[in-house]
Amino acid sequence: MIGQLTAALEQIDIPADWIGIRAMQEVSSYRAMRDGYPQQNRRELNRGAMVEVLAAGQFGYSATNHLTAQSLRQAAQKAYEQAIAASQWAVHHFTQTVRPAIKGSYRSPYAKPFDSLSVSEINDLLRRLCDRLKVSAAIVRTSAIARIHEIDTWFVSSNGSEVHQRLNLIEGHLGAIAQAPGVTQSRSDNGYLARSYQGGWERFLDDTLWARAERIGQQAVALLSAPNCPNEATTLVLAPDQMMLQLHESVGHPIELDRILGDERNYAGGSFVKPADFGQLVYGSPLMNVTFDATLAGELASYEFDDTGTPADKAYLIREGVLQRGLGGLESQERLGVPGVACTRACSWNRPAIDRMANINLEPGETDFDTMISRIESGVYMESNRSWSIDDQRHKFQFGCEYARKIENGQLTTLLKNPNYRSTTTQFWQNLDQVGNHHSLKVYGTPYCGKGEPNQLIRVGHASPACAFKNIEVFGGVS
């Protein structure tokens, strides 16, 4: 494909300063069972190319799903006309320095190939998982989902870039809803599709699968008779599957450079973070170390190069509580004059690349989980996100979880339902009191990070240990 695209690129005859073609092919299958019956057996081939042109300091783009040399030439011409039409109104005069010349490749690691299970085996697996989830008659709905994607991206450019990246992704979900008169409770496998990884079937068929399915069903039923989470200010311990959401919403998004530049403020919003905050802002307690890490094998958003060809690595975004750098690619770094990372990404061939999260992780600390709990006289432990909302400056948030336990005198005790908490971002992170060690670190991901105009849903990964936060307002539902 690189050869075809390079040949097509050579046939494009426009007076542009730079031309790039990013072609993509995504082969997906979606398998879902509900209550043991097939809900979805769908396959999809999505294929197309984004042609991007730099002319008179402005980028223009044109994307097409018709991958012929003629179509690509026409797309380049349209992209050129877009750039010229906008050049006198450009928000910034770019040069090709924001499109580095690069050659390389990347491939997701995997052990058990996707074709090692037939469609009938996958359906049978999901049906049996539904059976396992239904631990009693109180379970009124079970669901099991497996989605796989093989994504090839090829990037060539007029300044010599040639990149091929092959991603193998698997996204899994288990869920159960339990009902008793007047009460309904749900439990899932660390949140909807939170078990999303790069890799093969080994990521789905791990040793804990069947025990997890049974536990999900049992916990959904147990929650029916649990009391509501109390309303109080207390020590809050978040499991890694809720830390995923906490990191995503209150760290990842606020430090995106395009939000700070105002590109995003008509849609997802801006940020309380100011350009002068980099290197200065005390975002959290000294225990807070957050990294952008595109190198963690198996995490959902690992890659070698972003969608502009910028090489990716691991970098500290927040070190010992102080904001170091933002989530922004070369365009935003140049416009804002602050350090960023290789995270200019597009959800597909039909959208332009913008500043996105990839893998945003909280680095583990020193405390094992049992020790963390033993140090807490009174508190609440929460798992698995079920509700999230935050303001357009990423300041005031309210998040809810599926499952909670009281912490009393250093022990996990009473099961609690409908747990929620609310706070403001820097106040919350400055109350970070304990960070779990590498034993409690878990890796999750989500296919559903929404942002951008036109809108884009992109995949992100988050790894975190369990963490404890002091003096947080928690609350429950209606009894």
C-alpha distance from residue 305 to each of 64, 101, 166, 211, 473 (Å): 23, 11, 11, 37, 41
* Interaction residues for another protein, span 356-415 (CB under 8 A): 386-393, 396, 398, 400
Told to check if 350 binds another protein by CB under 8 A, we report yes
Range in contact with another protein (rule: CB under 8 A) among 16-24, 61-69, 367-375, 376-384: 61-69
DSSP 305-370: B-TT--B--EEEEEETTEE---B--HHHHHHHTS---S-EE-SSTTS--EE---BEEEPP-SB-HH
State the minimum distance, in angstroms, from the CB of residue 374 to another protein: 31
In the range 425-454, which residues lie near another protein by CB under 8 A? 450, 453-454
- Whether 66 and 5 have beta carbons less than 8 Å apart is answered as no
> Tokens 């698995």 correspond to what residue?
384
Q: State which of positions 188-227 bind another protein (CB under 8 A).
A: none
Say which residue the tokens 């190198």 belong to: 295
The H or E element that residue 224 is part of is helix 209-224
Q: Binding pattern to another protein, positions 93-122, x when CB under 8 A?
A: -------------------------xxx--
Asked if 128 touches another protein (CB under 8 A), the answer is: no
Q: Which residues pair with 33 in a beta bridge?
A: 38, 144
Binder among 1, 7, 91, 233 for another protein (CB under 8 A): 91
Q: How many CA atoms lie within 13 A of 445 on its CB side?
A: 26
Judged by CB, which is closer to another protein: 109, or 477? 477
Complex with another protein: residue 341 or 354, whichever CB lies closer:
354
Interface with another protein (CB under 8 A), residue total 79
Q: 188 vs 440, which CB is nearer to another protein?
A: 188
- Pick 280 or 371: Cβ nearer another protein: 280
Nearer to another protein, 105 or 471 (CB): 471
- Smallest gap from residue 219 Cβ to another protein (A): 16
CA dist 48 → 22, 64, 224, 397, 423 (Å): 9, 6, 48, 38, 43
Dist CA 344 CA 349 (whole Å):
13
Q: Counting contacts by CB under 8 A, is residue 179 touching another protein?
A: yes
User: Which stretch, 82-90, 97-105, 365-373, 406-414, contacts another protein (CB under 8 A)?
Assistant: 82-90
What part of residues 250-269 is at the interface with another protein (CB under 8 A)? Answer: 261-263, 265-267, 269
